[in-house]
Chain A
């Protein structure tokens, strides 16, 4: 029995580590896909364990495994809990950066850290809603395309990251 128990614990531990690796990958994807002006939004992604409420070390991009909380390896937490981790962004202006909310924009006094992907006249209060430069219009810039977040989540890249993490971390099944 002891051997079976050990095996079960190892499998559970492997599952939980896989979840943490996938989480780290997704956090880095989000940081790379999203806007980067001062870097505050990019560095504010946080993973929270649904079982313990714990968070990682509160690191910044590029995120590492230690930035994702350890997960309990009890049977309940491993096999029964469906959502193990949530990823959120703690930046004050997160909803604006995600194009969910309108805002007013001012030049922050420094050039963006990230690459400029849109340049022209702002069409609405949505961050990434920038059209061609109009006469007498502003010279606005954005460092991520409009609706970068739904494109990542719904466009297949989110699922691909999950699959990639599982492929990376599952044990080999071939006989040796």
Chain B
């Protein structure tokens, strides 16, 4: 099992998509310090987690991993949900595109499940407005 390949399959297109926005939005992943503390600048936090690996399935391949993808978009507070929804839409588009991929002989094949959210929240003390989506995934590393 190659966890790094699975992570890359999700993280790379997200990084590209948010980088293509104008202005580009920084994306932070696990074990990378996110925006400066109490940042008031928008950013995205992506968390790819791993659940069970090699759980037997109905298919012949058992070299698979399951897990969750949680994406949090932080945008300016007090300016309505529009910008946050733009960021969320960018993330959802990437997840949907992942499902369009075809299973090849080599590479990493990943499918995501239904997407929960977005759920928006903002507490009194938080400097930014937060939108959150989450989904499940099943990935198979074919080479």
| A residues adjacent to B (C-beta < 8 A) | 99-104, 121-126, 129, 131-132, 134, 137, 145-147, 150-157, 160
A137 neighbours in B (Cβ, 8 Å): 37
What is the count of residue pairs linking A and B with beta-carbon distances less than 8 angstroms? 94
State in angstroms the CA–CA spacing of A168 and B91 once bound together. 41
Tell me how far the C-beta of B59 lies from the nearest C-beta in chain A, rounded to whole angstroms: 15
* Contact between chains at A102 and B132 (CB < 8 Å): no
Tell me how far the C-beta of A96 lies from the nearest C-beta in chain B, rounded to whole angstroms: 9
Tell me how far the C-beta of A150 lies from the nearest C-beta in chain B, rounded to whole angstroms: 4
Decide yes or no: A154 and B113 within 8 Å by CB, A102-B121, A102-B130, A147-B68 being known contacts: yes
* Contact between chains at B67 and A151 (CB < 8 Å): yes
B126 contacts the other chain (CB 8 A)? yes
Q: Is the interface of A mostly helix, strand, loop or mixed?
A: loop
State in angstroms the CA–CA spacing of A89 and B72 once bound together. 23
- Offer 10 A-B interface pairs, CB within 8 angstroms, sorted by A: A102-B122, A102-B126, A103-B125, A123-B28, A123-B34, A134-B33, A147-B70, A154-B135, A156-B52, A156-B55
The list of the 7 closest CB pairs from A to B, nearest first, reads A155-B51, A154-B136, A156-B52, A150-B68, A151-B49, A123-B34, A156-B66
Chain B's closest residue to A158 (CB) is B51
The 8 Å CB contact of B52, one of A101, A146, A153, A160, is: A160
A154 neighbours in B (Cβ, 8 Å): 51, 66-68, 113, 134-137
Tell me how far the C-beta of A153 lies from the nearest C-beta in chain B, rounded to whole angstroms: 8
Tell me how far the C-beta of A174 lies from the nearest C-beta in chain B, rounded to whole angstroms: 22
* Contact between chains at A155 and B68 (CB < 8 Å): yes
